[in-house]
């Protein structure tokens, strides 16, 4: 027994720590460590208990799910336990699940059919309907008994209060706060001098657990369903697969992520996981992984459950997007629109698979609201290619002794006095192109891949050209001479000739690219395409009135005002006109009346003559939309060679499948 003493001590330490962290996370919605750090502790405890089963106790956090019931809510017992999912932290874990499930069902691994569903970062909810009317909503709680949050759930915008059929049904899903709603709610909280929400997960969980439903209603929550059963325990809708259940829920009016798909075998699982990961940053909600479930409901029953997790499902998680670091300095950076952004210089830390040494603090109000100081221990977050940000501070007894950040009065680049207009949340530099930092940022944006796409013209090259006084404005690029460039540090005759050739190749840009390259505040890639389609030609866009601009899809009052302010600026307006005269942007095809207007396409595989980007551009120019995943909303799937799971999903759903020739024929008709 004495030999086990160190193990017993470690297990006791882990149970104490995991219980405390889980209580803060689940019960108080105030996480003290990152998900990745928590997972490491939890998995160590699981491993030790697996090695020493005699030390497992009923009160171990590995033996239960979720957190305690928050005082003030009525208990809501679950007819069926709301179990959590086992995590796969890497492809080894995920592959073991797939091969194990296939073996358990006696089928070949590559023949195993699974659904791929997004693992939302929110709060699990069970909504019960009697006669098609919502009568109860309950949180997961400890998995056996949750909290009755029916009044709060009724405020969720997309949760049906009445179904189109009088069915007795329990629907399970996730309450989430979409990214745009999170930003809007935080803006409202800051304007009232209140503490902002730490992240979307806390926003969803904390909002659902407000005793006052009016507060929940103000938080703009959404619900995404992923499962259902009749209240008597029977499978509804005569469904035989998880996919059948999802489609039935969709038909009842529940929101389902359009990325949901059916895949086969390990190759299908890994391909879907990577594809979702590539588009993760662009999703409207936060996710931390993909849930894969055996598709057949009979297969799910055959595999069954452990005491804590189902054997037929796995949560395949992405690398942690949050990490803990220490703030060493806070500097102010000036962007291309003049926005003055406090940026924390932190101890390098790996977040989302990359090393991060800087993180945005957005504005001075956010710095103070989050309590970030010089020397603070902070939680750093990064999603996809999005700039890392500090989303919270890990409390410490030393916080009171740390030095606070004070926003400077003058621009660190041009010394202009920083301004803050009424209604603005941040400061900005009014220096415009006279400000070196803004000049560099604007030139980099102009030459970027989504802009004029000038190969070889990065920030270092632009800095060298500016310092040599060869360029000051984007239009100066088109008068560069190769011999002048070749004499600069970092260049030679060949590289200079290559750069001037790339600049010459940028002539006659697509109208959408040209609009984007101007760097108008609030006009990103999607808005540039919408404006190009709306007006068709630069000459019409340039003189568009407020009423004409605001009629463009996805263009609101703020963006319209930004466009008009940009052209009214004497320097920026003249520069835009000069660039248009030099480069001659191509007219964009008008899409009114197109036979593809409003149709949703999914492109998969390799086409004989078109690249994927070319095919996408043709569809969008004709008024269609291109989606990255197959769903019931998909109109057509265009498949080339080596088409994979998207083609299979289309065939399963009965969606028409075209080849390249059929697409080109439709475009020509």
Round the CA-based radius of gyration of the chain to a whole number and report it: 28
Residue 39 marked in a binding site: yes
Residue 391 marked in a binding site: no
SS (HEC) of 200-266: HHHHHHHHHCCCCHHHHHCCCCEEEEEEEEECCCCCHHHCCEHHHHHHHHHHCCCECCCCCEEEEHH
Residue 279 marked in a binding site: no
Q: In the chain, count of helices (H) and strands (E)?
A: 24, 23
Distance CA 119, CA 667 (A): 37
Q: What is the DSSP string of 383-416?
A: -TTSPPEEEEE---GGGGGSEEP---SB-TTT-P
Residue 17 marked in a binding site: no
Distance CA 72, CA 252 (A): 32
Distance CA 472, CA 484 (A): 15
3-class DSSP state for residue 174?
strand
Distance CA 155, CA 204 (A): 12
Residue 264 marked in a binding site: no
Residue 429 marked in a binding site: yes
Alpha helices in 506-636 (DSSP H): 511-517, 525-535, 538-542, 546-550, 557-568, 570-583, 612-621
The closest alpha carbon to 393, from 424, 366, 362, belongs to 366
Residue 140 marked in a binding site: yes
CA atoms within 13 A on the CB side of 387: 10
Catalytic residue, from 86, 119, 439, 616: name it: 119
Please check whether residue 177 is in contact with residue 219, taking contact to mean a CB–CB distance below 8 angstroms: yes
Residue 27's alpha-carbon distances to 30, 70, 138, 228, 306, in angstroms, are 8, 6, 14, 25, 24
Residue 449 marked in a binding site: no
Please check whether residue 438 is in contact with residue 334, taking contact to mean a CB–CB distance below 8 angstroms: yes
Residue 428 marked in a binding site: no
Pairing of strands 657-658, 636-639: parallel
3-class DSSP state for residue 520?
coil
Q: What number of other Cβ atoms are within 10 A of residue 441's Cβ?
A: 22
Residue 174 marked in a binding site: yes
Distance CA 660, CA 664 (A): 6
Residue 293 marked in a binding site: yes
Please check whether residue 520 is in contact with residue 563, taking contact to mean a CB–CB distance below 8 angstroms: yes
Name residue 344's beta-bridge partners: 330, 359
The single-letter DSSP state of residue 282 is G
Q: What number of other Cβ atoms are within 10 A of residue 24's Cβ?
A: 15
Residue 84 marked in a binding site: yes
Residue 38 marked in a binding site: yes
Distance CA 628, CA 274 (A): 12
Residue 86 marked in a binding site: no
> Is 119 in the active site?
yes
Residue 257 marked in a binding site: no
Residue 36 marked in a binding site: yes
| Catalytic positions | 119
Which positions make up the binding site for NAD(+)?
Answer: 35-39, 84-85, 117, 140, 174, 293, 317
Which positions make up the binding site for Zn(2+)?
Answer: 411, 414, 429, 435
Which positions make up the binding site?
Answer: 35-39, 84-85, 117, 140, 174, 293, 317, 411, 414, 429, 435
């Amino acid at each position: 027994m004495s030999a086990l003493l160190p193990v017993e001590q470690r297990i006791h330490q882990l149970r104490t720590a995991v219980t405390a962290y889980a209580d803060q996370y689940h019960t108080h919605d105030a996480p003290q460590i990152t998900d990745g750090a928590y997972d490491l502790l939890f998995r160590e405890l699981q491993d030790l208990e697996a090695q020493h089963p005699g030390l497992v106790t009923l009160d171990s956090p590995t033996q239960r799910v979720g957190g305690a019931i928050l005082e003030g809510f009525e208990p809501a017992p679950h007819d069926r336990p709301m179990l959590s999912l086992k995590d796969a932290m890497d492809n080894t874990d995920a592959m073991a699940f797939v091969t194990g499930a296939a073996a358990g069902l006696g089928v070949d691994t590559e023949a195993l059919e699974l659904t791929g569903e997004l693992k939302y970062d929110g709060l699990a909810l069970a909504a019960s309907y009697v006669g098609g009317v919502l009568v109860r909503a309950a949180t997961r709680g400890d998995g056996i008994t949750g909290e009755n949050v029916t009044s709060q759930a009724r405020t969720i915008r997309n949760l049906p209060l009445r179904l189109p059929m009088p069915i007795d049904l329990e629907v399970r899903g996730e309450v989430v706060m979409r990214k745009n709603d999170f930003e809007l709610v935080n803006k409202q909280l800051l304007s009232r001098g209140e503490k902002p929400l730490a992240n979307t997960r806390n926003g969803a969980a904390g909002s659902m657990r407000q005793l006052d439903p009016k507060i929940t209603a103000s938080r703009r929550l959404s619900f995404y369903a992923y499962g259902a059963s009749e209240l008597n325990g029977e499978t509804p809708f005569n469904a035989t697969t998880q996919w059948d259940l999802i489609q039935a829920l969709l038909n009842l009016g529940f929101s389902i992520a359009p990325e949901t798909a059916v895949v086969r075998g390990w190759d299908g699982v890994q391909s879907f996981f990577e594809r979702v990961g590539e588009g993760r940053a662009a999703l409207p909600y936060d996710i931390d992984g993909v849930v894969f479930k055996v598709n057949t409901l009979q297969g799910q029953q055959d595999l069954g459950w452990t005491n804590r997790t189902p054997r037929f499902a796995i949560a395949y998680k992405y690398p942690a997007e949050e990490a803990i670091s220490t703030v060493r300095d806070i500097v102010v950076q000036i962007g291309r629109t003049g926005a003055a952004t406090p940026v924390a210089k932190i101890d390098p830390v790996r977040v989302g698979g990359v090393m991060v040494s800087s993180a945005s603090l957005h504005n001075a109000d956010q710095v103070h609201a989050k309590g970030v100081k010089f020397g603070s221990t902070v939680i750093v977050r990064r999603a996809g290619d999005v700039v890392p940000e500090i989303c919270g501070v890990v409390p410490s007894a030393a916080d009171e002794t740390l030095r606070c950040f004070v926003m400077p009065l003058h621009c660190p680049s041009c010394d202009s006095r920083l301004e803050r207009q009424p209604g603005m949340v941040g400061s900005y530099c009014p220096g415009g192109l006279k400000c070196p930092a803004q000049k560099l940022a604007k030139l980099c944006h102009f030459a970027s891949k989504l802009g004029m796409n000038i190969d070889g013209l990065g920030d270092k090259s632009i800095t060298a050209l500016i310092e040599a006084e060869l360029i000051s404005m984007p239009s100066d690029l088109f008068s560069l001479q190769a011999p002048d460039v070749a004499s600069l540090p970092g260049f030679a005759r060949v590289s200079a000739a290559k750069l001037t050739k790339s600049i010459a190749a940028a002539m006659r840009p697509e109208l959408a690219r040209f609009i984007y390259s101007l760097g108008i505040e609030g006009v990103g890639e999607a808005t540039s395409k919408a404006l190009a389609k709306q007006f068709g030609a630069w000459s019409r866009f340039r003189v568009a009135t407020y009423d004409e601009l605001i009629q463009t899809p996805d263009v609101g009052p703020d963006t319209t005002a930004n466009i008009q302010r940009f052209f009214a600026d004497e320097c920026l307006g003249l520069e835009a006109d000069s660039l248009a005269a030099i480069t001659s942007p191509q007219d964009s095809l008008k899409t009114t009346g197109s036979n593809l207007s409003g149709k949703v396409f999914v492109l998969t595989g390799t086409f004989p003559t078109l690249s994927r980007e070319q095919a996408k551009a043709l569809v969008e120019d004709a008024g269609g939309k291109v989606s990255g995943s197959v769903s019931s909303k998909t109109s057509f799937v265009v498949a080339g060679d080596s088409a994979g799971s998207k083609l299979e999903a289309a065939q399963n759903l009965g969606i028409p499948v075209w080849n390249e020739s059929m697409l080109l024929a439709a475009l020509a008709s």
